[in-house]
């Protein structure tokens, strides 16, 4: 396909799919015909329509910005600086989440819902692409009769300097910001890197400017925490925090009933620093394969999720013991 030379050409290619055209129009609150008029040059969008358009097409966002600036050179000169300019979560997006929830196969429902919500958070909270990292850390299912001892990064989305973060995982405990949010049942907001190092020195990623963490709660049960970091200090205004709270509530749909644990059944341990965990985490896939082979040899085959649970318990126990030895 020939590369688009103007933003209107690119928009035209995107909305050539009628369902995509309708989806974008719903997110912007406009008639699909308006998108066609923009693409063909028969009308011009208002400035307050261009930013939501970018939010609606995250995969084409970077190229679209480059092309828009060619026609509207001052487009990026007026940054979003107040909560009043930040749109609320649209009813169309709520409907989209519910549709994915009700139509996805059971095995894919959690990951499908999580991914669309995290992608929407990324485009909604960082419209200028300054750099945002979003992580869901879920409670590691405990062994029978035991309490929850840690959380683990299960899914993430990021941009800017953190795009490689999506390939990583880690265990987190009471020493972490996400663990503290679970323990206190309240959001934990840190507005500078210096404050993060003072309050939670055990775990941090480079270029964290400010961090907001919200526990994912259902009444008196918790499934994990939502972690969002910006490269910018003091980034999380009251309006943004209210949006994050709403997205956290929506993430409840990405968790199964079995993933929620009574808060009294959560007793987090202390996990080692990320760099100390890394050699152990690299063995996770090998451990899962070993458990499946071992079970097959014993005539009791394991499905992958069960083998993964056993491997995670092994890793969790080793990391908890590692930290005890170092104390």
Q: What percent of the chain has pLDDT over 70?
A: 93
Q: Is the pTM of this model over 0.85?
A: no
pLDDT digits (tens, 9 = 90+) for 255-308: 999 999 999 999 999 999 988 999 999 999 999 999 999 999 999 888 998 898
At 206, the pLDDT band (50, 70, 90 cuts) reads: confident
Contact 251, 136 (CB under 8 A): yes
Of the two residues 4 and 243, the one the predictor is more confident about is 243
Taking alpha carbons only, the member of 321, 196, 205, 313 closest to residue 270 is 321
pLDDT digits (tens, 9 = 90+) for 178-187: 999 999 999 9
The residues near 311 (Cβ < 8 Å, ≥ 6 apart) are 284, 287, 288, 290, 291
Phi and psi torsions of 153, nearest 5°: -60, 120
Note the pLDDT of residue 84.
41
The tokens describing 69, both together, are 């600036």
Average pLDDT value for residue range 86-104: 90
User: Where are the domains positioned within the chain?
Assistant: 7-78, 91-265, 274-326
Does residue 88 sit in helix, strand or coil?
A: coil
Q: Which fold, 91-265?
A: Beta-Lactamase (3.30.450)
CA distance linking residue 208 with residue 204, whole number of Å: 7
Note the pLDDT of residue 96.
93
At 81, the pLDDT band (50, 70, 90 cuts) reads: very low
Contact 235, 248 (CB under 8 A): no
Taking alpha carbons only, the member of 259, 268, 249 closest to residue 222 is 259
Of the two residues 248 and 193, the one the predictor is more confident about is 248
Q: Which residue, chain included where needed, has tokens 């995969």? A: 59
Note the pLDDT of residue 217.
97
Contact 243, 204 (CB under 8 A): no
Q: Which residue, chain included where needed, has tokens 């644990």? A: 261
Please report the DSSP string for 151-189 in residue order: EEEEEEEE-GGGGGGGG---EE-TTSHHHHHHHHTS-EE
* Residue 170 reports pLDDT greater than 80: yes
């Amino acid at each position: 396909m020939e590369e688009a030379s103007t933003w209107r050409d690119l928009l035209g290619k995107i909305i050539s799919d009628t369902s995509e055209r309708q989806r974008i129009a719903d997110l912007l609150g406009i008639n699909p015909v308006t998108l066609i008029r923009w693409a063909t040059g028969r009308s011009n969008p208002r400035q307050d329509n261009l930013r939501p358009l970018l939010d609606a097409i995250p995969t084409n966002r970077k190229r679209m910005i480059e092309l828009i600036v060619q026609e509207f050179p001052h487009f990026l000169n007026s940054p979003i600086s107040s909560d009043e300019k930040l749109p609320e979560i649209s009813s169309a997006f709520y409907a989209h989440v519910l549709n994915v929830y009700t139509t996805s196969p059971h095995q894919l429902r959690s990951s499908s819902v999580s991914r669309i919500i995290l992608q929407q958070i990324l485009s909604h909270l960082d419209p200028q692409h300054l750099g945002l990292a979003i992580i869901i850390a879920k409670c590691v299912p405990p062994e029978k009769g035991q309490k929850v001892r840690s959380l683990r990064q299960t899914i993430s989305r990021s941009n800017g300097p953190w795009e490689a973060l999506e390939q990583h995982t880690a265990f987190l405990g009471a020493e972490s910001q996400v663990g503290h949010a679970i323990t206190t049942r309240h959001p934990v907001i840190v507005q500078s890197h210096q404050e993060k190092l003072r309050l939670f020195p055990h775990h941090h990623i480079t270029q964290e400017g400010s961090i907001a963490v919200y526990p994912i709660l259902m009444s008196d049960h918790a499934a994990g925490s939502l972690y969002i970091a910006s490269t910018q200090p003091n980034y999380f205004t009251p309006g943004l925090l209210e949006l994050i709270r709403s997205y956290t509530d929506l993430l409840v749909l990405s968790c199964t009933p079995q993933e929620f644990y009574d808060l009294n059944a959560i007793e987090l341990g202390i996990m080692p620093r990320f760099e100390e965990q890394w050699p152990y985490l690299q063995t996770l896939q090998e451990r899962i394969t070993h458990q499946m082979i071992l079970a097959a040899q014993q005539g009791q085959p394991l499905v992958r999720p069960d083998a993964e649970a056993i491997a995670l318990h092994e890793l969790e126990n080793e990391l908890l013991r590692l930290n005890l030895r170092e104390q």
